[in-house]
């Protein structure tokens, strides 16, 4: 195998590991900060579902990173493709590693996009897909404000639901259903399965999650001295970790997998775009999970306790 392929795979794995360790706090920091779950258990759950999300859905975002932001297909040399994509992977890796040492959460998406733009400008402005870049930047500008508004509205809704037993039960059941139904449906509709079959499977899985949450709460809350609200919030926080981890894997496997796929395809290791992307995304997803469990605790303190004090209900909303 070409030495450049091995170097590229190593750098991609390093970026994925950094990504997992730095961004694990986004998924589990709030729950750990609220004391709802132990760090080891939270990080293990996050690692498992990040791996699942990356393997199942990572290839769709990876295609955009691989060839739609910078037109690497215009590079007819394997060595040129390697130099471009290794530069992207290495620069993003080093900056993310510095952020982790400083215990500062960092968006690896921003690192990768910025690195791609940098090499695109170095090659020539014609290599950059400016229209797509503008769309991405506009989306990034509005996302924090949209998230803040949704979080505030959800907090009021959760606060109101906690005021009554019926509202609390409804909150747990609906959240249990949605946290399983939505990610599973998104995964299934991308396959060759018919839409009605995908919806049915996702709905049945969501119902199973609802039943499991209901039975757990019923059993636990029958014990003397148990706070039903606190127990309900713990269930919801675990479900939130699962849902966020799945989404994180689906989106973030592309950060390392996309550039690596371009090299794998150019080097002839894979015979098609689809196989190159899938192979690269699986490698990235594995090292995302490894990063979460091996060094994910490094930024948890900042997100869980350093930004604001959290109780279980506010942790769930965040």
pLDDT by 10s per residue, the chain, length 318:
588 899 999 999 999 998 998 888 888 877 887 777 888 899 999 999 999 999 988 888 888 888 888 888 777 788 889 999 999 999 988 888 888 778 776 778 888 988 998 988 888 888 899 999 898 889 888 888 888 888 788 777 777 776 666 677 788 888 889 888 888 887 777 666 778 888 898 899 899 989 988 888 888 777 777 777 777 778 888 888 888 898 899 889 999 999 999 999 988 888 899 999 999 999 999 999 999 999 887 766 655 555 555 556 555 655
Token reading at 193: 């399965």
User: Which pLDDT value is given to residue 318?
Assistant: 56
User: Which pLDDT value is given to residue 303?
Assistant: 55
User: Which pLDDT value is given to residue 308?
Assistant: 53
β-pair partners for 128: 70
242, 268 contact by CB (below 8 A): no
User: Which pLDDT value is given to residue 310?
Assistant: 58
pTM of the model: 0.83
Please tell me the distance from the alpha carbon of residue 135 to that of residue 131, in angstroms, as a whole number. Answer: 6
Please tell me the distance from the alpha carbon of residue 253 to that of residue 232, in angstroms, as a whole number. Answer: 32
Map residue 4 onto helix, strand or coil.
Answer: helix
| 41 burial via Cβ count (<10 Å: 0-12, 13-18, 19+) | middle
User: Which pLDDT value is given to residue 214?
Assistant: 86
Contacts of 46 (CB under 8 A, 6+ apart): 24, 27, 28, 241, 244, 245, 248, 292, 296
């Amino acid at each position: 195998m070409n030495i450049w392929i091995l170097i590229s795979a190593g750098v991609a794995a390093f970026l994925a590991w950094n990504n997992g360790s730095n961004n694990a706090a986004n998924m589990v920091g709030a729950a750990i900060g609220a004391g709802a779950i132990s760090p080891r258990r939270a990080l293990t759950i996050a690692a498992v579902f990040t791996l699942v999300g990356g393997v199942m859905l990572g290839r769709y975002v990876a295609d955009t990173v691989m060839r739609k932001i910078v037109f690497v297909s215009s590079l007819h040399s394997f060595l040129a493709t390697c130099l471009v994509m290794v530069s992207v992977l290495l620069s993003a890796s080093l900056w993310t590693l510095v952020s982790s040492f400083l215990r500062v959460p960092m968006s690896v998406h921003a690192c990768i996009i910025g690195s791609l733009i940098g090499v695109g400008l170095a090659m020539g402005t014609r290599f950059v897909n400016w229209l797509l870049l503008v769309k991405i930047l506009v989306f990034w500008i509005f996302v924090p404000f949209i998230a803040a508004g949704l979080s505030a509205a959800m907090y009021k809704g959760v606060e109101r639901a906690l005021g009554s037993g019926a509202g609390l039960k409804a909150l747990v059941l609906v959240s249990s259903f949605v946290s399983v139904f939505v990610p599973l449906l998104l995964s299934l509709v991308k396959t060759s399965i018919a839409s009605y079959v995908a919806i049915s499977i996702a709905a049945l899985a969501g119902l199973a999650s609802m039943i499991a949450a209901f039975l757990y709460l019923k059993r636990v809350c029958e014990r003397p001295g148990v706070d039903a609200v606190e127990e309900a919030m713990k269930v919801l926080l675990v479900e939130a970790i699962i849902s966020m981890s799945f989404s994180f894997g689906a989106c973030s496997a592309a950060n390392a997998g996309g550039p690596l796929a371009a090299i794998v395809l150019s080097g002839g290791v894979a015979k098609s775009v689809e196989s190159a992307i899938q192979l690269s995304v699986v490698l990235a997803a594995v090292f995302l999970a490894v990063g979460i469990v091996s060094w994910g605790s490094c930024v948890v303190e900042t997100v869980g306790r350093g930004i604001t004090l959290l109780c279980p209900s506010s942790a769930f909303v965040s």
